[in-house]
């Protein structure tokens, strides 16, 4: 046990983020880290409880509680507290291929399941995790893994997001030769283009990619499975194929005025912004004198414009934060769900995920910039207004949620609550509906009733021999940590197919 009375002696403490005033002026990461000594004190708060709910990931009441990849949290908390950094790193890597990603972008369902959180603020598990891996990189503990023996089997992993990277990493450890096919111009998938730089710096992503390349994994960019490589060619060139292509089909909004210009899917906006940012100040369409520098092509640049973001999740928050950096005139975020309570309610007990109001970095920055929370809860869009073919406004109405006899909650519009918002740009951030239609049309993969790639008997194998699927493409839109788990398990299933057995962990 780290320190038996640590949770009583040390209060929960997190490093202060860079101030909103400072961070909205650039795209640099806004999180900071503690000194080793201060982080060790936070690790001392771990109780090493008899049943560590934190490391057993499962779905409770339709939400994740605990860690889906079963991180050995009490063990590396103790090693962190004792300053045994290399051992803490080794223990962390037993279950997680990329703690530098999860330690930055995971919403930490492990912390909501922490036993300390029954009565006191929970252990800073996420911050402990990222501290261990960054210390490991600093001390040179992190090295390429080159398997001592190659099996002679070749595997194509389709997609280089968290599921694809985890799958490729595990299959490489099993000794197979791995090619990762990525349709974009840079590797990383969601990690590269779906998450803004201020939340996950792209040097962190490329650091891991270069490490994997040094381990013998090859990344083939601008290569789309089904178009640039047919499924027949893939099965001819490789012994197995694993589709980890994500759930990229965005949920649309079929209301009057949807065909107006100026209405974009959120991921197109975020991708364009990151691509222009990475291209540098001289990139086409990037202003040289503004933070919008980040930029986007002119039609997607939000500087001095009124922006309406439709969707209250992480992607919507990332859009709000990006728009603030562009220098918008105004930004509103519409959320159809009710405003959550400030604290747990009796019907949301520990260790469930806390269904509480969370004000994320994007909202914090909008509050600093405009003096109010950008979110409108219980609000839906009824139509878009336009001028000369371009969006100029959004009509909304408040909704009320009621539970039907079947137990399901449904919303109804509230008469007399109609409102009109100015909008020069509208960003649709309402989630995703599985892989794109082209994925199925071009590969022959079968779609299940949820719009995802169908696998046999809920395994990772599709109905095409030698073809597997994992991550959001199989599971549906989910957390990065679930994608890593899926990638790891699909790698084991693929290894069993190729070798008849697998030494990879379950």
3-state SS of 55-100 is HCCEEECCEEECCCCCCCHHHHHHHHHCCCHHHHHHHHCCCCCCHH
- At 110 the pLDDT is 97
Rounded to 10 degrees, the C-alpha dihedral 301/304/308/309 comes to 50
Q: Is residue 486 helix, strand or coil? A: helix
**Per-residue pLDDT tens for 362-375?**
999 999 999 999 99
- At 326 the pLDDT is 95
What's the CA gap between 73 and 71, in Å, rounded? Answer: 5
- At 81 the pLDDT is 97
Class of domain 6-139: mainly alpha
Are 190 and 246 a contacting pair, CB within 8 Å?
yes
| CATH number belonging to domain 263-428 | 3.50.50.60
The first and second tokens of residue 31, run together, are 């999180």
**Per-residue pLDDT tens for 50-76?**
889 998 889 998 899 999 999 999 999
Give start-end residues of each CATH 1.10.1060.10 domain in the chain.
6-139
Give the total residue count for the chain: 506
- Which of 72, 67, 66 lies closest to 92, judged by CA? 72
- Which of 352, 348, 295 lies closest to 325, judged by CA? 295
What's the CA gap between 387 and 230, in Å, rounded? Answer: 44
Are 12 and 184 a contacting pair, CB within 8 Å?
no
The one-digit pLDDT tens for each residue of the chain (506 residues) are 678 899 999 999 999 999 999 999 999 999 999 999 999 999 999 998 888 999 888 999 889 999 999 999 999 999 999 999 999 999 999 999 999 999 999 999 999 999 999 999 999 999 999 999 999 999 999 999 999 999 999 999 999 999 999 999 999 999 999 999 999 999 999 999 999 999 999 999 999 999 999 999 999 999 999 999 999 999 999 999 999 999 999 999 999 999 999 999 999 999 999 999 998 865 433 433 334 434 455 568 899 999 999 999 999 999 999 999 999 999 999 999 999 999 999 999 999 999 999 999 999 999 999 999 999 999 999 999 999 999 999 999 999 999 988 888 999 999 999 999 999 999 999 999 999 999 999 999 999 999 999 999 878 999 999 999 999 999 999 999 999 999 999 999 999 999 999 999 98
What's the CA gap between 417 and 376, in Å, rounded? Answer: 12
- Which of 301, 271, 274, 269 lies closest to 285, judged by CA? 301
Give, in order, the Cα–Cα distances in Å from 413 to each of 402, 407, 417, 428.
11, 19, 8, 20
- At 286 the pLDDT is 40
DSSP codes joined into one string, 106-166: ---HHHHT-GGGGTSPPP-HHHHHHHHHHHHHHHT-------SS--S-EEEEE--SHHHHH
- At 117 the pLDDT is 93
- At 4 the pLDDT is 87
Quote the pTM value.
Answer: 0.94
| Residue in this structure with the two tokens 């038996």, named with its chain if needed | 4
Helix (H) or strand (E) holding 102: helix 99-105
Query: Which residues make Cβ contacts (< 8 Å) with residue 119, sequence separation at least 6?
Result: none
Give start-end residues of each CATH 3.50.50.60 domain in the chain.
154-248+433-499, 263-428
State phi, psi for 66 to the nearest 5 degrees.
80, 180
Long-range own/partner contacts, residues 284-292 (CB < 8 A, 24 or more apart): 290/326, 290/327, 291/24, 291/25, 291/26, 291/325, 291/326, 291/327, 292/325, 292/326, 292/327
Number of H helices, E strands in the chain: 17, 16
Topology classification of domain 154-248+433-499: FAD/NAD(P)-binding domain (3.50.50)
DSSP H helices, 395-479, are 437-443, 472-475
- Which of 128, 8, 108 lies closest to 66, judged by CA? 108
What's the CA gap between 270 and 196, in Å, rounded? Answer: 7
């Amino acid at each position: 046990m780290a320190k038996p009375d640590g949770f009583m002696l040390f209060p929960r403490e997190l490093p202060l983020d860079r101030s909103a005033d400072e961070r909205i002026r650039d795209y640099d990461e806004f999180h900071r880290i503690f000194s080793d000594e201060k982080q060790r004190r936070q690790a001392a708060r771990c109780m090493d409880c008899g049943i560590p709910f934190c490391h057993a990931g499962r779905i409770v009441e339709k939400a994740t509680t605990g860690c889906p990849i079963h991180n050995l949290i009490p063990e590396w908390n103790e090693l962190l507290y004792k300053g045994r950094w290399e051992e803490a790193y080794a223990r962390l890597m037993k279950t997680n291929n990329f703690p530098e990603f999860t330690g930055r972008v995971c919403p930490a369902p492990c912390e909501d399941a922490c036993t300390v959180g029954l009565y006191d603020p929970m252990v800073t598990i996420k911050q402990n995790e990222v501290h261990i891996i960054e210390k490991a990189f600093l001390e040179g503990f992190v090295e390429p893994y080159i398997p001592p023996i190659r099996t002679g089997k070749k595997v194509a992993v389709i997609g280089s997001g968290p599921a694809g990277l985890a799958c490729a990493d595990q299959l490489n450890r099993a000794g197979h030769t791995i090619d990762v096919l990525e349709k974009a111009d840079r590797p990383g998938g969601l990690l590269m283009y779906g998450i803004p730089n201020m939340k996950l710096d792209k040097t962190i992503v490329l650091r891991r990619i270069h490490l994997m390349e040094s381990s013998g994994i090859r990344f083939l960019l601008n290569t789309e499975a089904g178009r640039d490589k047919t499924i027949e060619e893939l099965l001819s060139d490789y012994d197995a194929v694993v589709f980890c292509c994500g759930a990229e089909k965005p949920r649309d909004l079929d209301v009057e005025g949807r065909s107006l210009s100026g209405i974009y899917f959120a991921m197109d906006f975020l991708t364009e912004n990151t691509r222009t940012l990475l291209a540098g100040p001289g990139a086409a369409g990037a202003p040289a004198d503004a933070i919008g520098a980040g930029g986007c092509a002119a039609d997607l640049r939000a500087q001095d414009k009124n922006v309406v973001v439709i969707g209250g999740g992480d992607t919507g928050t990332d859009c709000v934060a990006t728009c603030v950096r562009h220098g918008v005139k105004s930004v509103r975020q519409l959320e159809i769900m009710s405003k959550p309570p400030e604290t747990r309610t009796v019907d949301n007990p520990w260790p469930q995920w806390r269904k509480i109001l969370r004000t994320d970095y994007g909202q914090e920055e909008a509050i600093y910039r405009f003096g109010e929370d950008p979110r409108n809860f219980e609000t839906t869009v009824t139509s878009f207004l336009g001028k000369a073919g371009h969006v100029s406004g959004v009509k909304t109405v408040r909704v009320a949620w009621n539970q039907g006899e079947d137990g399901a909650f449904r919303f109804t519009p509230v008469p007399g609550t109609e409102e009109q918002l100015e909008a020069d740009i509208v960003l649709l951030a309402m989630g995703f509906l599985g892989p794109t239609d082209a994925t199925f049309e071009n590969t022959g993969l079968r779609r299940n009733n949820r719009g995802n790639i169908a696998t046999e008997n809920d395994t990772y194998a599709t109905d095409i021999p030698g073809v597997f699927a994992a991550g959001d493409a199989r599971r549906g839109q989910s957390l990065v940590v679930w994608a890593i788990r899926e990638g790891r398990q699909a790698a084991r299933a693929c290894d069993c197919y190729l070798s008849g057995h697998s030494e990879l962990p379950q």
